[in-house]
Each structure stands twice: as structure tokens, then as C-alpha cells.
Amino acid sequence: MVGFKNRYMVMEVFMDPNREQVGVDPIIITQFNVNKAIRDSILVNFGECGLGSAIGPFLVKYVNPVTNLCIIRISREDYQKVWAAITMVRSIGNYPVVFNMLDLSGSIKACKTAALRCEESKFEQFKLMVGDRLSTTDINRMNSNIEKIKCLEH
């Protein structure tokens, strides 16, 4: 018996820093928000048939609201369609965003490696920015996010 062939995307979500924050709270990136934005984009750009074919194995497996990194699982047959729909996402909940593809892989192991590398480099950059004001809460939060990535499975 052959298992389903999947692709895993490591994506980074960039929020528009030039947006006026008057009266609008900054959005927190969650699995639900990312999932809804991508599904809406597939529906708008590829119709109900396109959404129906891509929706089966589609899953947002991991989202880090601090670094805005997410891991998305999709089928091998539909990854190009979903990738195209992701590039057309312009907002998440009225907040302008842009997705950046960091890695595309065929296994969760390679995806975890790429995501860990990215998270660790962002944490090192954060430590350099903050300097001696780094709290134990920040360190614990980043370590827990790194542990979540290490625990990912199919």
C-alpha cells in the first residue's frame, strides 16, 4: 500500500509595517487565519472544483505568531495550485500581508530541518537586537516553538 505523497511548504508571512495602526489592532497570525486566507484565495482563483481537489490533504501544520513562520502540507498533485493561490493572498483579516516561500520539500524531515534553521537564525537575530534586555520568558517561548517543530509528524 502506497501512502499519499505530500509536499511541505515553509512560508514566512510579512506584515506591512507602513500600515496605519489607528483604531486597528495588529493581527496575530494563527493556523485558523492562515488556513482561511489560503482557502479563500483558492476559491476565488480556482473555483469550487479547484478548492475541492486541493482541500483533502491541505493542512496548516505549524504557525509561530512571533516569527510569522508557518508550515503547510499539501498534496503533490495540487501543490502548484496552492502555491499560486498563496502568492495571491494580499490580506489576512483586513491586514495586508505577503507570503514568502522559504522551502518546499517532499518530506516532513526536510521541512523540519529548514524550519528549525530559520527559527534559530531569527532567534539569534532577536537576541542581537534586544541585547541584555532578553528575558527568560522570551527564551522559554522560543524554545517551546522549536520543540513544537521537532515534534511535527505526518
What tens digit of pLDDT does each residue of 114-149 get?
999 998 898 888 888 877 787 888 788 888 888 888
pLDDT digits (tens, 9 = 90+) for 68-86: 899 999 999 989 999 999 9
Does a structural domain hold residue 52?
yes
- CA distances for 66 relative to 5, 12, 94, 122, 138, angstroms: 30, 11, 19, 10, 10
1 in a structural domain: no
User: DSSP assignment, residue 16?
Assistant: -
- Region label for 139, one of left (φ > 0), alpha (ψ between -120 and 50) or beta (otherwise): alpha
Is the model's pLDDT at 20 over the cut of 80? no
Grouping H, G, I as helix, E, B as strand and the rest as coil, residue 22 is coil
Which residue range(s) make up the domain with 82? Answer: 6-151
Rounded to the nearest integer, the mean pLDDT of the chain is: 86
C-alpha cell at 134: 532578553
Instruction: Examine residue 126 and state whether it is found in any structural domain, yes or no.
Output: yes
Domain assignment of residue 32, yes or no: yes
CATH at residue 132? 3.30.70.3250
For the chain, the domain total comes to 1
* CB atoms closer than 10 angstroms to residue 59: 15
